[in-house]
């Protein structure tokens, strides 16, 4: 572990307990920190059983690593923390002890386990917090959304604020703090692993594009199957991730190896985030873009 302090590689996955690892990581190093910790639920992470506890005990658990994680954030850095309704208020309280909360994103995950005596649990919170509310990076242009136009309004016969394309009518919009365009990784998606709580690449792509620059370093203290590292790499950022389970680290390493060849992120194409269930349109828009690039290359060569 002491090797880490001497020279931390620009990109790394560390198989360790975050509690033992933090003292070896340099302070102020990371521009963006994404945290998806064990929620306050009974969950089996490949043999490591997390147990549900009182809100007070869970807050103490968060505090046992959160303050030290904040020390690793750069002075103008951003931190996101994911949680469900049960642990989200504890997270808000603990985050506010060290950082300024800028917003709460609500992610409608769509899939959730049905319950006979309760509403199905189909949403999560993502807390957006910064060290310095007067100086932090946020690139809203990098996270625009492409939505189908339901009622295409025209002025003088021309589309008003939307585009008519071969693949349909779309509007490019600024994103809100309600995200309903992202599903959890389904078995049929290339990014899917057997990790029980894997986050979608599209979700992390929004966080990374909005809150870091190319070349910045993203830190994930609970890396799981490697989503934060994989997306950081695909988007030209450096990464450092810590995960206690060796098998999960190997899954992350495999995904990182695949990401060297394939940088695509499902749901993010041609610089915009597409709605759910638009894979067909994304593919035809990609082929249309490629065709127009080939055409312009041919045209330029013949000029």
Q: Does 259 bind ligand SAM (CB under 6 A)?
A: no
Q: Which of 147, 199, 233, 238 binds ligand SAM (CB under 6 A)?
A: 199
Q: Is 248 in the site for ligand SAM (CB under 6 A)?
A: yes
Candidates 118-126, 141-149, 156-164, 221-229; binding stretch for ligand SAM (CB under 6 A): 221-229
DSSP state letter for 34: E
Cα separation, 224 vs 45, in Å, equals 9
Q: Is 61 in the site for ligand SAM (CB under 6 A)?
A: no
Q: Which residue is nearest to ligand SAM (CB)?
A: 224
* Closest to ligand SAM by CB, 136 or 222: 222
Residue 270 CA to its chain's centroid (Å): 18
Determine which residue in the list 243, 249, 269, 272 makes contact with ligand SAM, applying CB under 6 A: 243
Contact call for residue 145 and ligand SAM (CB under 6 A): no
SS3 220: strand
Helix (H) or strand (E) holding 73: strand 73-83
Residue 18: CB minimum distance to ligand SAM, A? 4
Nearer to ligand SAM, 124 or 281 (CB): 124
CA geometry: angle 140, 201, 123, nearest 5 deg: 80
- Residues 193-224: b if buried by 16+ CB within 10 A, e if exposed: bebeebbbbbbbbbbbbbbbeeebbbbbbbbb
Torsion of CA 56, 107, 215, 173, to 10 degrees: -150
DSSP letter (8 states) at residue 157: T
Q: What are phi and psi of 100, to 5 degrees?
A: -105, 125
For ligand SAM, which residue of 80, 219, 222, 268 counts as binding (CB under 6 A)?
222
Q: Given candidates 109, 131, 147, 195, which one binds ligand SAM under the rule CB under 6 A? A: 195
Task: Find the shortest distance in angstroms from Cβ 167 to ligand SAM.
Answer: 31
In the complex, what is the shortest distance from the CB of residue 55 to ligand SAM, in angstroms, rounded to a whole number? 18
Structural contact between residues 240 and 11, judged by C-beta atoms closer than 8 angstroms:
yes
Is-contact 30 73, C-beta < 8 A? yes
**Does the footprint of ligand SAM cover residue 245 (CB under 6 A)?**
yes
Q: Which of residues 4-33 bind ligand SAM (CB under 6 A)?
A: 17-19
Least distance to ligand SAM from the beta carbon of 102, Å?
21
Question: Which is nearer to ligand SAM, 79 or 147 (by Cβ)?
Answer: 79
Helix (H) or strand (E) holding 208: helix 201-211
Q: Which is nearer to ligand SAM, 203 or 209 (CB)?
A: 203
Classify 161 in phi/psi space as left (phi over 0), alpha (psi -120 to 50) or beta: left
Binding site for ligand SAM (CB under 6 A): 17-19, 36, 38, 45, 48, 195, 197-199, 222, 224-225, 227, 242-245, 248
């Amino acid at each position: 572990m002491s090797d880490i302090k001497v020279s931390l590689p620009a990109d790394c996955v560390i198989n360790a307990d975050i509690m033992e690892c933090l003292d070896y990581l340099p302070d102020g190093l990371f521009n963006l920190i994404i945290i998806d910790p064990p929620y306050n639920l009974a969950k089996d992470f490949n043999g490591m059983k997390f147990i549900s506890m009182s809100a007070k005990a869970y807050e103490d658990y968060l505090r046992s690593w959160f303050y030290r994680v904040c020390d690793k954030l750069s002075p103008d850095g951003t931190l996101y923390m994911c949680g469900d309704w049960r642990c989200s208020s504890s997270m808000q309280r603990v985050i506010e002890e060290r950082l300024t909360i800028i917003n709460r994103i609500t992610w409608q995950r769509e899939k959730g386990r049905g319950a006979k005596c309760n509403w199905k649990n189909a949403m999560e919170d993502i807390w957006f917090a910064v060290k310095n509310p007067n100086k932090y990076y946020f690139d809203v242009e990098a996270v625009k959304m492409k939505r189908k136009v339901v009622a295409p309004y025209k002025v003088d016969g021309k589309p008003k604020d939307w585009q008519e394309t071969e693949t349909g009518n779309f509007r490019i919009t600024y994103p809100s703090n309600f995200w309903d365009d992202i599903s959890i990784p389904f078995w049929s998606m290339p990014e899917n692993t057997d990790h029980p709580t894997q986050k979608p690449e599209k979700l992390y792509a929004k966080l990374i594009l909005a809150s870091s620059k190319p070349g910045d370093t993203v830190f994930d203290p609970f890396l799981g199957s490697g989503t934060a590292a994989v997306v950081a790499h695909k988007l030209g950022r450096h990464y450092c991730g810590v995960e206690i389970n060796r098998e999960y680290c190997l899954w992350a390493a495999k995904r990182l190896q695949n990401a060297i060849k394939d940088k695509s992120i499902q749901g993010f194409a041609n610089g915009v985030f597409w709605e759910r269930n638009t894979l067909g349109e994304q593919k035809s828009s990609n082929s249309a873009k490629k065709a127009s690039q080939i055409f312009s290359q041919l045209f330029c060569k013949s000029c």
